[in-house]
Every structure is written in structure tokens, then in C-alpha cells.
Amino acid sequence: MHSTRRYSPYIRPDHPQPPARWASHQTHDTHEGKGKGRQLGHSERTPAEPQREPHVLLQQTFHIDRIATLAPTFPLSPTSATSSRFRAFASALERFLAQQLALGLDPDLRVGRKDQLVKRVEAGYVNLRLGSKDGAVRRPVLIQVELGDENPSSSRASTSSSTATFILLPSLPEDLDTSAPGSPAFPLLLSKSASASLTHLFTTFLSTRFDALIHPFRIPPPSMLALLESLVRPGAHSPSSDDNAPIPLATTLAFAFPPQIARVGLSTLSLTLPPEMLPSLVPGEEGGSFVARLAAHLERHTALPLGALELVRVGAGRGSFVHSGAGGAGGAGSGGARVKFFPGAEDDEGSEMRRVCEELVRGARR
């Protein structure tokens, strides 16, 4: 006689889990099937994946903070995390924000009003695979928070709302062998919010719950040069056979002069290199670097010693703009580094966005 008892398959604790799915508060009904056993509902067969495509990062200016410490108890992993963990994290953040709004401590958020609501908190992965050492792919984590005012007396359910986006960039696979004990799994935080107060509440949540130490990030000069090299690599500006492919952008650079020169009024030097000029500067099989060739070109034609200047802003590739956070060149010195991606940057499965994110993470460990 066959037993009708059903058993769950054994899964080793160290067995890698399948990719988690986008944390959703929606539920699906289950259906009893005919015949043997019970038919699983849609939510049990294919749970909604907590994963967004890279285009969610486009057309937004993200401010970059460095996460110096993060408790090992942080529940989200850059390699694998279950849907329940994403939901639990989003739920805890939602409760924290609701409590802070109810206290009415920050007038910038118009808190203290009974109709101020946390409308939505979601968490999941960005489908941007960073690193490839031994197949150890790591993905950024995306958290979105939407606040809104709801007035029951109004004919409209919602009169206003604002959405903040936070991206946790993971450490790279090569960091696993070289990073010091206690190094955070997510060394960088990218923030896009219309309210600095909401960003402050989010970082306070990370600090109080997970012992995170967060401060504005300034991209080191060597990392800015490495970032530039990655964006003008051979082939990055070659013509495409696709008529719908984005046109390569002109490469725009801003260099800061040393303090002794900046004091007399000459703070930055801006350069614009048209796409057709880049092939003569990008090194080929003979080796060398783009920056070295550019410095030699400028010294021949202008006698400017480019090596004595600091690269503080880069606009290159097919749609990537990065500010180091240093003074001058836009006055972003006190606000930390910034990054913005335009539509062309997500071409080729987001490879340009991936290279930029990887160089930013490498800069965080310098």
C-alpha cells in the first residue's frame, strides 16, 4: 500500500539557492486540482521575482555614500536571498519609516500630519551582474520607498507622492580574498531622493539596525582615471551596424587645478573630445593608456601638464557621467560623488553600467 504522505525535498543548508524573486505583497489564490494530489497556485509555481532590469537606474542622478561597516547580520546577500528575506527587510523598513513619520520630528517631510503615509516599500535585485571570478556573480540590491498624502475627503485617493530609490552596490568577487575581516558585503550606497530627510531616515535605519557607518564618498583620483580608461576602451566608440544604436557621445572631462592655482581664479579645465578623435588616442595592441596619450597630445599642442591636474568629472562611453565629489567642476565638493546613466549606457546587456559600478566599488576599497 502506497503512503499518501507528502515529503518536502531535502535541501542542504550550504546548497546555493535559486535566484530570489521580487518582493511583492500581492497574494494569489490556490486551486484544488482534479485527480491525484493538489495543483499548486500560480504564486507557488512561479513566485514573483524581486529583480528589476538595469533601466531602473537610467535618467537619475545618484549620490554616492561609502558604507565603512555593516553588521554580518544584515539579511540581504549579493549572491542569493529568498523572497521572504526581501519581504521581511521591506516590512521592517516600512514600520521604521511609519514610526518616524508619526513622531513628526522632521518638517521637511511634512510629518506630523495624520494623512502622511508610507505607501510602498519594495526590495529586490538589479539584474546587473558584477564580477565573474569562478562564476561568483554578485548583484546590486534595490530598495524603493514611496511616500504620499492621502486625504479621505478628497475625490482623489492620492494627492501627491514621491519615490526614493536606494542601491546597495556589492563587493566584487576578487575582494573576497583580499578584504579585511568585517568588510561590508555592500561597500557603496547610491541614493536618489527628492528629500534629503528621507535619505537620512534610510541611513538611520541601516545605522541603528545593522551598525552601518555611512559617510559621503569621494572617488580617489586613480579610480577616476581607471573609470575613464574603462569607458574609452577599444571598441567602445566603434560604429554600430544597428541603425537604432545610440550615437557615441563626445567625451567630456573636467580637471581641477592645484590649490595654489585655484586661489587665483583658475579652478578647472574642461575638455571636450569628439567621438572621431578618440580612435587616435585609445591604445591598441601596442599597449599604453588613454590618459597618457591624452596628456602627451595636450602637452604638444598647449604645453599644459595634465599630470599635475586632478580628474574630477567624466562624461564618456554611450551615456555615463561621474563626478568624483571633489571641489570645483560643478561645486559638488561637500556633497560627495555622483553618477548618472543615460539610455545608451544599458546597451549590450548593461555592460557599460556594469563597468562603471565595478570601478566605483574598487575605488571604495582604496
Q: Write the DSSP string, 142-192.
A: EEEEEEEE--TTSSSS-SEEEEEEEEEEPPPTTHHHHSPTT--S--EEEEE
Q: Residue 247 — very low, low, confident or very high, per pLDDT cuts 50/70/90?
A: low
The better pLDDT of the pair 349, 131 is held by: 131
Q: Of the given ranges (74-83, 238-247, 251-260), which has the lowest mean pLDDT?
A: 238-247
Q: Residue 177 — very low, low, confident or very high, per pLDDT cuts 50/70/90?
A: low
- pLDDT given at position 164: 93
The better pLDDT of the pair 264, 54 is held by: 54
The answer to whether 353 touches 53, Cβ cutoff 8 Å, is no
Which whole number is the average pLDDT over 51-75?
Answer: 92
Q: What percent of the chain has pLDDT over 90?
A: 36
Cell 543615460 appears where? 342
Nearest alpha-carbon partner for 121 in 65, 62, 202: 202
User: pLDDT tens across 115-155, in order?
Assistant: 568 889 999 999 888 876 556 678 999 999 998 876 555 54
Q: Of the given ranges (113-117, 230-234, 297-301, 330-334), which has the lowest mean pLDDT?
A: 330-334
- pLDDT given at position 165: 96
Which whole number is the average pLDDT over 213-232?
Answer: 93
Nearest alpha-carbon partner for 166 in 139, 150, 189: 189
pLDDT at 37 over 70: no
Cell 505607501 appears where? 119
Residues linked to residue 311 through DSSP beta bridges, in sequence order? 255
- pLDDT given at position 151: 58
Cell of 160: 501627491
CA quadruple 64, 70, 75, 76: dihedral sign = positive
The better pLDDT of the pair 19, 51 is held by: 51
The upper half-sphere exposure of residue 163, i.e. CA atoms within 13 Å in the direction of its Cβ, equals: 9
pLDDT at 36 over 50: no
Q: Of the given ranges (38-52, 89-103, 233-247, 340-354), which has the lowest mean pLDDT?
A: 38-52
Residues linked to residue 92 through DSSP beta bridges, in sequence order? none
pLDDT at 88 over 50: yes
pLDDT at 223 over 70: yes
- The interaxial angle of helices 221-231 and 290-302, nearest 10 deg, is 100
The answer to whether 164 touches 199, Cβ cutoff 8 Å, is yes
pLDDT at 45 over 80: no
Residues with Cβ within 8 Å of residue 199, at least 6 apart in sequence? 63, 164, 166, 191, 193
Q: Residue 19 — very low, low, confident or very high, per pLDDT cuts 50/70/90?
A: very low
User: pLDDT tens across 256-296, in order?
Assistant: 888 777 777 778 889 999 888 888 888 776 677 888 888 88
- pLDDT given at position 302: 80
| Rg (alpha carbons) of the chain, rounded to whole number | 24
What's the whole-number average pLDDT of the chain? 76
pLDDT at 207 over 90: yes
pLDDT at 38 over 90: no
pLDDT at 212 over 90: yes
Which whole number is the average pLDDT over 51-71?
Answer: 91
Which whole number is the average pLDDT over 294-309?
Answer: 84
Q: Residue 106 — very low, low, confident or very high, per pLDDT cuts 50/70/90?
A: low
d(CA 298, CA 121): 50
Q: Residue 197 — very low, low, confident or very high, per pLDDT cuts 50/70/90?
A: confident
